[in-house]
Amino acid sequence: MGAIAGVLGGLLLVLLGLPVLSLILRISPGVLLDRLREPLVVQALRLSLITSLAATATVVVLGLPVAYLLAMREFRGKGVLEALIDLPMVLPPTVAGVALLTAFGRNGLAGHALSALGITLPFTTLGVVVAQAFVAAPFFIGAARAGFTEVDRKYLDAAATLHASPVRAFVTVLAPLAAPALLAGAATGWARALGEFGATITFAGNLPGVTQTMPLAVYLALQSDLDAAIALSVLLLVFSLAVLLTVRLGPTRLSALLLRARRPSR
């Protein structure tokens, strides 16, 4: 049994690890740094950072109340809402892009309302943010909800008997106690937004400097400049790995550090 598990595990390790390893081995550090200085790459990098951070912020602001309700309250249609929120996790990203087009496109369901407000989403940077937020939302909401659920109700009861309104209790007790989960959720959501490809290219197109994020630039470079594609890929890989490692090892220690750093107000 142990031997079989060992062999299967080894195969899996090769399947997962070899591409990662070969990607890193394929390019020399000198070439890597060289390619990362190319204007096209810099542009994509900048755009990716801006849009993914904006998408993460959007998801956090809009997702926090939803995660709170899902964790704290029972209501009708909760199951449907949960399924709806989780949908982007299993939906093919291109389908998400098409769906976004039919909703927010010029002739989409909400397209006229948006253009009346002077907002255009398809093939704009804002559209990239929307596409990234769409796919990143379930990652943050799921983690935040789990974090809220894990906070012992006794702390909220204590806050209530100490004159804290529900909003105050949320800010001063619930959110700080769920901080590790919230940080982890935001980090995974950010990583997902940064790596978003399918929904972006379908909904926002591939315009350099406007909607061409790193994953899109990788895809484009693959057809003309393999080294640039690999350089970008390595960068994305390192970033994703860093986020995951932080989430795995970090949050509890990270929040412990944050807590220790906050001096008691003496």
Partner 1 sequence: MLDAHLAKRRGPLALDIAFQARAGTTTVLVGESGAGKTSALRLLAGLDRLEAGFVRLGSEPYADADAGWHLPAWQRDVGYVAQDYALFPHLSVFDNVAFGLRAAGVERRRIRPRVEEALGMVGIENLAGRRSHQLSGGQQQRVALARALVPSPRLLLLDEPLSSLDLQTRRMVRGELRELLHRLPCITVYVTHSPVEALVFGDQIVVLEQGRVVQAGPREELLRRPRSPFVAELIGTNLFTGRPVTGGPALSPTIRTPEGEFAVEEMGSPGGVFLTVSPREITLYPRLPEASAQNVFLGTIREVIPEPPAGDRVRVVLDARPSLVVEVTREAVGALGLHEGMRIHAAFKATGVHVYT
Least distance CB 254 / partner 1 (angstroms): 14
Distance between CA atoms of 109 and 100, rounded to whole angstroms? 10
Q: Residue 161 interacts with partner 1 (CB under 8 A)?
A: yes
Q: Residue 73 interacts with partner 1 (CB under 8 A)?
A: no
Q: Residue 239 interacts with partner 1 (CB under 8 A)?
A: no
Least distance CB 186 / partner 1 (angstroms): 18
Q: Residue 152 interacts with partner 1 (CB under 8 A)?
A: yes
First to last CA, the chain: 59
With H, G, I as helix, E, B as strand and everything else as coil, classify residue 266. Answer: coil
Q: Residue 165 interacts with partner 1 (CB under 8 A)?
A: yes
C-beta of 37 vs 154, nearer to partner 1: 154
Task: Work out which of 28, 102, 115, 172 binds partner 1, going by CB under 8 A.
Answer: 172
Task: Work out which of 55, 67, 136, 177 binds partner 1, going by CB under 8 A.
Answer: 177
Least distance CB 165 / partner 1 (angstroms): 6
Distance between CA atoms of 114 and 80, rounded to whole angstroms? 27
DSSP codes, 155-171: HHHHHHHTT--HHHHII
Least distance CB 140 / partner 1 (angstroms): 21
Within a 10 A sphere around the Cβ of 199, how many other Cβ atoms? 28
Task: Work out which of 18, 83, 158, 241 binds partner 1, going by CB under 8 A.
Answer: 158
Distance between CA atoms of 191 and 187, rounded to whole angstroms? 6
Phi-psi region of 123 (alpha: psi -120 to 50; beta: other; left: phi over 0): left
C-beta of 154 vs 248, nearer to partner 1: 154
With H, G, I as helix, E, B as strand and everything else as coil, classify residue 30. Answer: helix
Least distance CB 251 / partner 1 (angstroms): 14
207-234 burial, b for 16+ CB within 10 Å, e for fewer?
A: eeeebbbbbbbbebbeeeeebbbbbbbb
Least distance CB 266 / partner 1 (angstroms): 5
What are the residues binding partner 1 (CB under 8 A)? 152, 154-155, 157-166, 168-169, 172-173, 176-177, 259, 264-266
